[in-house]
Each structure stands twice: as structure tokens, then as C-alpha cells.
């Protein structure tokens, strides 16, 4: 519950919809607001606009999926992983399903609601051979449980785990790189956070502030934030303030502009603009007035993973990244470690597993040349992406494990 009293703002939350409790929560929020300092940048809560439900946002089978059904799917995944090799030592992960009731209203007349379903699965496999351990992981998200493929995910994770045994070290440096959709999604999510939020833009920390209307990325790179795309996960018709969700081009033919920025009503009011429909719900806005893209879709290409590997003379395949952090946001310099399947590519073939490596590089450089983009999209939590091949990515060190 968000309350505004003479530009004094407060937010409280309740874990029940009982009328008495909600009234007490509102009273508490009003008291907190009156005790707070005015926020001179606040202009107004949003006014009502016409909104339309997102087609196929809700799947009854997913919403009603039982624990026993999920357990059966998980059991199939475990069996598939263990059947891959006697070296598979452990299989872990989760399979979640459910539905979400989503409603937004304010005192200016906004009243919007939706019901959506969610399903997601992650599988991690550990392989062992003597003193060596190998790790592999795969994951998938969808609005529909019928789209989740436990056996496919388990086989993929087990394959990477077994092939990761007895890794070798390679020298740091610039390599051609083939990124799986998992790795692409990690990079894109961080770009959304540090690059396309109005808060970052207004604080002078967004690269868009300095590179607008320039050819900063490969011309084949196109990314749109679109909650109405059937492949995205969070199919909500309005944002956390009740503003209708509309497609927003983040990267168009490798270029960004001021129109790439995601606004909520607060950040839009600072510049005399309209919200783009990217407010987080008050409960989810952990960073405070931080509008973010939550339904990013990268335009697919025409390549397959096999073709990207075959096209690589001397490079590295990366399954995913972790511990990624921005180093220099205005230049999109990120650092992070490879994880759960990192392999050397030689003369068009994956030849051996390698010890995890740390990359530190500017995405302005890394995404400047993208020889190949995959034709198949994978839906993940906040991004729907293909695999991509980069002409170069700079690795600066080798992990201890």
C-alpha cells in the first residue's frame, strides 16, 4: 500500500486481505507519510488509461498442477540424468508452478487486474570421476507447464557435467565466444538494470546518456521489452502503478536512444514525460523508484548452436555466468565468472573442458561484433533470448575451481 500526503510518501505491506487489517495498514502508512520529508520530485500518481488483458496469460493446467505431478516430472528428470553416465553423482534443482492474482488501484481512478500462471524448472547435475568434479545446469521458464521439458533439461545438464570432468587451464586473453541463452540472459538482465532504467539515466550512470543515437552494438542486435509477447513470462497488462504495458524498443539495429529508457511515473515526472509502464510493484521495488525492463526479448537470428561452434576456430563455449557485477556502468564494463559448463572450441569442435574463467570487458566492445545469433529462443525469468556468438570477449583470469 503506497500513500502520498502532500508529497510525503510511504509504503507498507500486509499479508492478509482482511478489511480491518487493511484499514489499519492504511492508517499506519498515512502516519508514516506525515512524519516523512516531502519529496520535491514527486508530481502525481498515474491517471487511468485504457488497458487490455494479455492473451494466454493464464493456463489452468499450470495453476492446478499438483505436488505429485511435479514430483513425477522431477523423478523423470533424475532418472534421465543418472542414465546419462555412471559418473553422474548427484542431481538437484526445483520445479515450481502456480498462479498469481495481480491487481492495481489508486485514488485517481485506476483499477486493473490480471491472473497469470507461471512454471519454471532448474536442474543442476554434479559428475565425479576420481578427484574431479564436473558441473552442468539447465533451466527453463514458461506460462505453461506443458512447455517445460524436464528430460531435455536433465540430459543437457548431465551432458555438460560429465563433459566438464578433468578440466584444463587456458591462458587469459581475448577469445571468440559462443554464449548459451543462459549466459546471454545474464548479460542482458544486467544491461537492463544499469543501462535502461530511468533512475540510472537520471543519475548519470547509464551508457545511453553518452552513446544515444550511435551505432554502439552490432546492427543485427534488436531487443524489445514487451509483456504482451507470448514468449515472455510476466504477462501483466499494467505495471506496478497501473500504467498499461506497451512494447518499448531498447536496442534497435544496434542503436539506443533516449526513447530506450524505462520510466515509472516518479522518474517520468522528473523530466516532464509520461511513464513507459515500467514501475515495479511497491513490494518489489527494493531499490526505490527503480523502473526496470522485465520482459526483454532479443530478436532471433538464423543460426544453430552447432553452426556457431563449427564457425569458431579458437574460442570458448560458456553455458552461463555468475557473480556478475558492473565495474563501469557508463561503459557497460562487467565482470563475472563462467559456470556450469565451460569448454574450449578448436577448429569448429568442442575439444575439452576448461577451468572456469573470469571475464572483464565492456559490452560496448563485446556486442559490437556478433557474427551469429541463434534461431531458437529460450524463455527465462526476465529475458527471452537465443544463443549468440561474439567475435571477442576478454578473459582476465582463471578461477581456483
Distances (CA, A) of 348 to 175, 306, 331, 351, 372: 14, 9, 32, 9, 14
| Residue-wise pLDDT tens digits, 55-87 | 999 999 999 999 999 999 999 999 999 999 999
State the average pLDDT over residues 112-133: 97
For residue 397, give the 3-state DSSP assignment. Answer: strand
Under the banding of pLDDT at 50, 70 and 90, the label for residue 205 is very high
**Other beta carbons within 10 Å of 178:** 26
The per-residue pLDDT of the chain, averaged, comes to 96
| Residue-wise pLDDT tens digits, 188-200 | 999 999 999 999 9
Residue 341 has pLDDT above 90, yes or no: yes
State the average pLDDT over residues 358-374: 99
- pLDDT at res. 153: 98
Residue 223 has pLDDT above 70, yes or no: yes
The set of cell numbers assigned to 228 is: 504482451
Q: Report the phi/psi class of residue 21: left, alpha or beta, with left for phi > 0 and alpha for psi in -120 to 50.
A: alpha
| Residue-wise pLDDT tens digits, 245-287 | 999 999 999 999 999 999 999 999 999 999 999 998 776 555 5
| Residue-wise pLDDT tens digits, 284-340 | 555 567 899 999 999 999 999 999 999 999 999 999 999 999 999 999 999 999 999
| Residue-wise pLDDT tens digits, 145-181 | 999 999 999 999 999 999 999 999 999 999 999 999 9
| Residue-wise pLDDT tens digits, 8-23 | 999 999 999 999 999 9
CA angle 101, 104, 108 (to 5 degrees): 160
User: What does pTM read for this prediction?
Assistant: 0.95
> Does residue 358 contact residue 398 with C-beta atoms inside 8 Å?
yes
Residue 394 has pLDDT above 90, yes or no: yes
Spatial neighbors of 327 by CB under 8 A, at least 6 apart, are 333, 334, 335, 360
Share of the chain above pLDDT 70, in %: 98
* Eight-class DSSP state of 170: -
Radius of gyration for the alpha carbons in the chain, expressed in angstroms and rounded: 23
Domains of the chain: 2-34 (no CATH), 60-163 (3.30.2290.10), 169-401 (no CATH)
Amino acid at each position: 500500500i503506497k500513500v502520498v500526503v502532500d508529497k510525503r510518501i510511504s509504503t507498507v505491506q500486509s499479508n492478509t486481505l482482511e478489511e480491518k487489517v487493511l484499514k489499519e495498514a492504511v492508517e499506519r502508512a498515512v502516519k508514516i507519510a506525515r512524519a516523512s520529508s516531502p519529496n520535491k520530485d514527486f508530481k502525481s500518481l498515474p491517471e487511468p488509461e485504457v488497458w487490455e488483458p494479455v492473451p494466454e496469460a493464464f493456463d489452468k493446467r499450470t495453476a492446478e498442477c499438483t505436488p505429485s505431478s511435479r514430483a513425477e516430472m522431477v523423478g523423470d528428470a533424475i532418472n534421465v540424468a543418472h542414465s546419462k553416465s555412471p559418473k553422474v553423482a548427484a542431481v538437484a534443482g526445483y520445479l515450481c508452478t502456480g498462479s498469481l492474482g495481480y491487481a492495481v488501484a489508486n485514488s485517481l481512478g485506476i483499477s486493473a487486474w490480471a491472473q497469470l500462471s507461471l512454471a519454471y524448472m532448474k536442474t543442476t547435475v554434479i559428475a565425479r570421476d576420481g578427484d574431479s568434479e564436473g558441473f552442468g545446469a539447465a533451466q527453463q521458464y514458461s506460462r505453461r507447464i506443458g512447455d517445460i521439458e524436464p528430460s531435455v533439461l536433465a540430459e543437457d545438464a548431465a551432458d555438460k557435467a560429465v563433459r566438464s570432468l578433468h578440466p584444463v587451464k587456458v591462458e587469459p586473453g581475448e577469445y571468440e565466444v559462443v554464449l548459451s541463452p543462459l549466459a546471454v540472459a545474464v548479460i542482458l538482465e544486467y544491461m537492463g538494470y544499469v543501462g535502461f532504467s530511468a533512475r540510472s539515466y537520471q543519475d548519470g550512470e547509464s551508457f545511453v546518456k553518452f552513446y544515444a543515437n550511435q551505432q554502439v552494438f552490432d546492427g543485427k542486435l534488436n531487443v524489445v521489452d514487451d509483456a504482451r509477447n507470448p514468449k515472455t513470462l510476466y504477462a501483466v497488462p499494467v505495471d506496478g502503478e497501473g500504467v498499461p504495458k506497451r512494447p518499448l524498443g531498447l536496442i534497435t539495429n544496434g542503436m539506443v536512444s533516449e526513447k530506450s529508457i524505462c520510466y515509472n511515473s516518479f522518474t517520468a515526472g522528473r523530466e516532464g514525460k509520461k511513464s513507459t509502464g515500467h514501475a515495479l510493484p511497491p513490494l518489489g521495488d527494493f531499490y526505490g523508484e527503480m523502473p526496470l525492463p522485465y520482459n526483454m526479448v532479443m530478436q532471433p537470428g538464423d543460426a544453430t548452436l552447432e553452426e556457431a561452434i563449427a564457425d569458431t576456430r579458437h574460442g570458448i563455449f560458456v553455458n552461463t555466468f555468475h557473480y556478475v557485477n558492473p565495474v563501469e556502468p557508463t561503459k557497460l564494463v562487467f565482470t563475472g565468472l563462467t559456470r556450469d559448463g565451460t569448454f574450449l572450441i578448436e577448429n569448429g569442435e568442442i575439444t575439452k573442458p576448461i577451468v572456469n574463467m573470469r571475464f572483464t570487458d565492456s559490452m560496448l566492445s563485446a556486442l559490437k561484433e556478433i557474427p551469429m545469433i541463434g534461431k531458437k529462443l529460450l524463455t527465462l525469468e526476465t529475458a527471452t533470448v537465443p544463443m549468440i556468438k561474439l567475435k571477442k570477449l576478454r578473459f582476465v583470469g582463471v578461477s581456483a575451481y
